[in-house]
Structure 1
Amino acid sequence: MAARKDKKGRVLKEGERQRKNGTYEYRWTERNGQRHSIYANNLSELRDRKEQLVVDRYNGLRVGSNQITLNQLYLLWKKLKKGIKENTFQNYQYMYEHYVFDKLGHRKIRTVKRSDVRLFYCYLVEQQNLNVSTIDCIHTVLHQVLQIAVEDDFIKTNPSDNALTELKKVYNVDRKRRKALLIEEQKLLEDFLSKEGTYRHWKPIFTVMLYTGLRVGEITGLRWEDIDLEKGVIYVNHTLVFFSLRGKSTYAINTPKTSKSKRVVPMMSTVKNAFHEVKEYYEKEEIVCNSIIDGYTDFIFLNRFGCVMNYTTLNKALNRIVRDCNLEQLEKNEDDSNVLLLPRISCHSFRHTFTTRMIESSMKIKAVQEILGHADIGTTMNIYAEVTDELKVQEIGVLEKYMKEQELTPLNSTYP
């Protein structure tokens, strides 16, 4: 019997055929008599898919599983799910259909990877602004749906395994939000921002925040005429306000928060260098200020389109920075129980961090008040008391370590 060939004269193997429209088909029959077909646009692609079938059989995966979507498995999960309260079941359905169905549900189950699930959870945090308790509920449904795929031999492992645990580590959500960064955390953040790459352009504005204690509206409203690099001072005389008006984002220039907020803030060399870096970056990227707000223009800190920034943009950037810095730390350290991670932070955290560094250095309380622009010294004293309480705990820890080294601690203590 002559070998069958395609239109190009290539010999076709058993089960292969070229269809009238020029595409290719491979047919085979299972031992139980069930017939299957796969299709491809060309012969090379068809044979690649045949090889994948062999691999799938070896791995114990079901034939045809590459066509099943996540949403199809979700519908099966709805039929199978029993033994929970109706309101809980309704909540699970809402979570999946509201957040997963359109974003991830169309994906074929075989194409959903671990990285896809983790990126999806990051999207829920950063773009949808969901808290972890909500994502936990979404994860419960998604993990169960994917587990059906594992149990029915569509996939070998559940790509959502440990995804929620990793999310919590990356965003440090199990830790109480602190108002100020510890010294080692501040150093970790600065080192991460100093690396060439995705976040390098964020370094100047966050450096100025960390080393001046200016409020976010004071920082984003700074113009080049408000700073004097030769004298090394910043003139704070207005603030940039960002708000929503009839559903539209709007900016306005306002007077400082209080009369004391109108002030002159000295620059450290780190701040001067940050301003110089901004100038160099704008010249290199040919960025010019396109914002005119209530007659004010020539703002210092701009996005790539030459427009002013706002606290929402900056806080979202910080979320991404914390996420990727912590991911890098976890990848470098196998023992993640002792790894240094950044806590959840916002722009206002930098003001508290700068205040803490001033108090730690024993700066006079009146000078701290003037630099921060506090109208009431009681506000400064409250922060001072909070920081010094933390310092006392730290210093006692140093004393205890010293006494242990001198063997002055009572032995055989039964208490931790």
Structure 2
Amino acid sequence: MAYIYKKGKKWAFRAYMGTDPITGKEIKKSKSGFLTQKDAKLAAALFERQFHNGEYIEPLKITFETMCKDWLKHYESQGSKVSSIRARRIALDRVIDDLGQIPIQKITKKAYQDTIDKLANTFSSNYISSIHSSTNMVFVYAQENKLIKEIPTKGIKLPKKKKTVSDLEQGNEIHEKFLEKEELEEFLTITKNDGLEGDLLAFTMLAYTGLRIGEMIALKWSDIDFDEHTLRVIKTYYNPTNNKLKYTLLTPKTEGSIRTITIDPLLVAMLTQHKQQQEKIIKDNKPFYKDNDFIFSTNEGYPKTIKHLSIRMQRLLKKTSIQKQVTPHSFRHTHTSLLIEANVHIKEIQERLGHSDINTTMDIYAHMTKNIKKEASNKFSNLMKDLSKNLID
């Protein structure tokens, strides 16, 4: 039962809620500044009800930035991958720039929505979703630890960028995420003629398997079955500093990313040839070569970095007529589009690419190639040929 009393010209209450079983100290709450005795009684009753129902949240001044740091430690303790921790930290930094110094209990849904809307002017819709996902985890963690009552990220509307008439008129071909078959042929031909050591195998591997570049760099000879013509994906390469000595091998992105796929006879032949060349390099550099069984290795035996392959790729792209913003990941989308063009079932594509979520595959499926669009148009024209010839003199 709370004790109501006068304090100067205003009213206050003091409530005793028993003894803390852990510390042995009395649990009490005092609050003053009420204009009337009735206000003090109502506030005391509300406190007692919330306390007994487990709904009471002690007012704290913990900032959002401090809460993020605490959550990241917890996230790391759960065995999260180094790459995931880094990605979450970077995403949260975007929100910390805006809300970092505000006490977490004072961050409203409106304040968070404003922050997300502002970030949407700079970042893509996919990245905004990633930022929101990380931030939501922090607030859920705070609520689970009874630091906040409500989660301000709940029910937020994530902005979607709409194309303007100008965008549609200009087209978005330059922003396509994959190469057409003819473009891939041009790139690989240039690579064969002008590429440096290992370039042709690396980029053919990406285009013919759809591997993520980190999955490809992590490949070891023990992952290749030359008799069965298969390749297994059980790890991925992580090296945010691009220092060849400071790499880490992690488990793949998702459970679905662990897979064994069949590879083309061309790749088997190229891998066989590459193995012979590598054995000679190992022999010539034996005192210095660190043999960890990597397929795509430097002359010292370390796995090649993603930056190294990206620079090699840009060098070759400049020699082509391709006018697209191509990255190593573009070959993964290229592989997907070519599988679609070859009428491979969507489920088989999902399994080959290691997409745990069918929606990921379907998103790429939506980016149909020009050849498929043209074929659809031709099929329609042939279907309507008899009717069409009667419509024009």
Normalising by structure 2, report the TM-score.
0.49
